[in-house]
Amino acid sequence: MSRIIVITSGKGGVGKTTCTANLGMALAQRGHKVAVVDADFGLRNLDLLLGLENRIVYTAVEVLAGECRLEQALVRDKRQPNLVLLPAAQNRTKDSVSPDQMKKLVNALTKVFSYILIDSPAGIEMGFQNAIAPAKEALVVTTPEISAVRDADRIVGLLEANGIRNAHLIINRIKPAMVAQDKMMSVKDVQEILAIPLIGVIPDDEKVIVSTNRGEPLVLAAEASQRGLAGQALQNIVRRLEGETVPFLDLTPPADDFLARLRRLFRPTE
């Protein structure tokens, strides 16, 4: 049985595509056959994060129009042969595809791939409906900010209403130094508010941007130091997806000043 997982958030720019690219790559590294599907029609960028933008010939739209076969549209990753991308069209609107068509496409992919990750566009309109239509599970991505958490809550409700009860939370772009100073909501705060099970906590890390610039997902880096804490956090999510119990990373800031350490020492347990 293949697992069909949508990565979604409500608010834009919180890290859906970053997560899809890295989780897809990490799953493939663990030996699974993985298809990542870009459901962001009109504003595709999963291909960019994977560095596959120059290799796209056909997209999902041509497959649906019968202008090519599904295999012809799939872009194979040369670095990781277990991974393929089904690109979205860049020059069409979100209405060029329907939820039923998405189901058909993904259903065809389940014949070959054991993991299908769908990168959802922001918002709750047609593009979102298309992305969740084939999914059996969801990863809800948020950052610890009021607007992102509010939108994530809306998404959790909509997923439930659409029969997707298996939803897990990824909190991205945590800034440990700010949490330590009580300037930002903590992981616990956000998880308490959204009240769905937590599957990952990713720190804010410049390495994520550098890897995006290169078109090389963080988890591809050979050295642990190059992957950094963010890369490790993403790999941990994949292990948890597969049922392993992995402790969450300790994100308390390491080299902080004397005062902050003192303050933490005296503060009642959080």
Partner 1 sequence: MLQELLDRLFSRGTAQKTSRETVKRRLQILLAHDRADLSPAVMEKMRQEILEVVSRYVEIDPDHSEFLLESDQRTTILTANLPIRGVKEVPDAPKIADSAANRIPEATSSTLPPAEPSADSPPDVLDLSMLDAIDAAIDPKTISSPSNEGRQTL
Binding-site residues for ATP sit at 11-18
* Residues 198 and 169 sit within 8 Å (Cβ to Cβ): yes
Using CB under 5 A, which of 2, 8, 9, 17 touches Mg ion? 17
Closer to partner 1 at the Cβ: 239 or 267? 267
Among 67, 125, 192, 242, which residue interacts with partner 1 (rule: CB under 8 A)?
Answer: 192
The CA distance from 92 to 79, in Å, is 29
Helix (H, G, I), strand (E, B) or coil at 119: strand
Q: Are the CB atoms for 117 and 20 separated by under 8 Å?
A: yes
Of 92 and 263, the one with the shorter C-beta distance to partner 1 is 263
Instruction: Return the residues of window 53-112 that contact partner 1 according to CB under 8 A.
Output: none
User: Which residues are 75's β-sheet partners?
Assistant: 85
Residues belonging to the binding site are: 11-18
Instruction: Pick the binder of partner 1 from 53, 62, 137, 153 (CB under 8 A).
Output: 153
SS3 236: helix
Measured CA distances, 93 to 39, 89, 226 (Å): 11, 8, 37
The first and second tokens of residue 136, run together, are: 């059996």
Residue 170 interacts with, from partner 1, Mg ion, ligand ATP, none (CB under 5-8 Å by kind)? none
Gap between the Cα atoms of 80 and 112, Å rounded: 16
Q: How many residues bind Mg ion (CB under 5 A)?
A: 2
Q: How far is the CB of 268 from partner 1 (least distance, A)?
A: 10
Contact criterion met (CB below 8 Å) for 15 and 143: yes
User: Minimal distance in Å, beta carbon 8 to partner 1?
Assistant: 17
Q: Which helix (H) or strand (E) holds 6?
A: strand 3-8
For 140, list phi and psi in degrees, rounded to 5.
-95, 120
β-bridge mates for residue 119, sequence order: 7, 38
Residue nearest to Mg ion (CB): 17
Counting contacts by CB under 8 A, is residue 185 touching partner 1?
Answer: yes
- Greatest distance between any 2 Cα atoms in the chain: 67
Q: Is 130 in the site for ligand ATP (CB under 6 A)?
A: no
Which range in 6-14, 73-81, 143-151, 206-214 contacts partner 1 by CB under 8 A? Answer: 143-151
Minimum CB–partner distance for residue 189 and Mg ion (Å) = 25
Q: Which is nearer to ligand ATP, 110 or 232 (CB)?
A: 232
Per rule CB under 8 A, is residue 174 in the interface with partner 1? Answer: no
Of 16-24, 27-35, 81-89, 90-98, the window that binds ligand ATP (rule: CB under 6 A) is 16-24
Q: Which amino acid type is present at position 185?
A: M
143 binds Mg ion (CB under 5 A): no
- The contact set with Mg ion (CB under 5 A) reads 16-17
